[in-house]
Amino acid sequence: MRLAALAGVRQHFRMVRPLLPAWFGQGKQLESLGNSASLTSDRSTELLFKEILTRGGFAGPQNFERLAVAKIAHHAPRAILVDFDHLETDRLECVRQIRFVLPQCTIAVVSSDLQGAWAAQCHLAGATGVLSRSDVAHMLAGLRQAVRSGCYTDRSFTAQVPDA
Same domain? 50 vs 88: yes
The pLDDT value recorded for residue 162 is: 56
pLDDT above 70 (res 7): no
Q: Residue 64 domain-assigned?
A: yes
pLDDT above 80 (res 128): yes
Same domain? 90 vs 70: yes
Q: Report the SS3 class of residue 8.
A: helix
Q: Which amino acid is at 52?
A: I
Domain count, the chain: 2
Same domain? 21 vs 64: no
Q: What is the CA radius of gyration of the chain?
A: 19
Q: Residue 164 domain-assigned?
A: no
Same domain? 82 vs 144: yes
Model confidence pLDDT, tens digit, residues 40-94:
999 999 999 999 999 999 987 899 998 889 999 999 999 999 999 988 889 999 9
The pLDDT value recorded for residue 11 is: 52
Domain extent, residue 19, equals 1-28
- For 153, other C-beta atoms within 10 Å of its C-beta total 21
Q: What is the pTM of this model?
A: 0.76
**Does residue 103 come out as left (phi exceeding 0), alpha (psi in the -120 to 50 range) or beta?**
alpha
pLDDT classification of 159: cutoffs 50, 70, 90? low
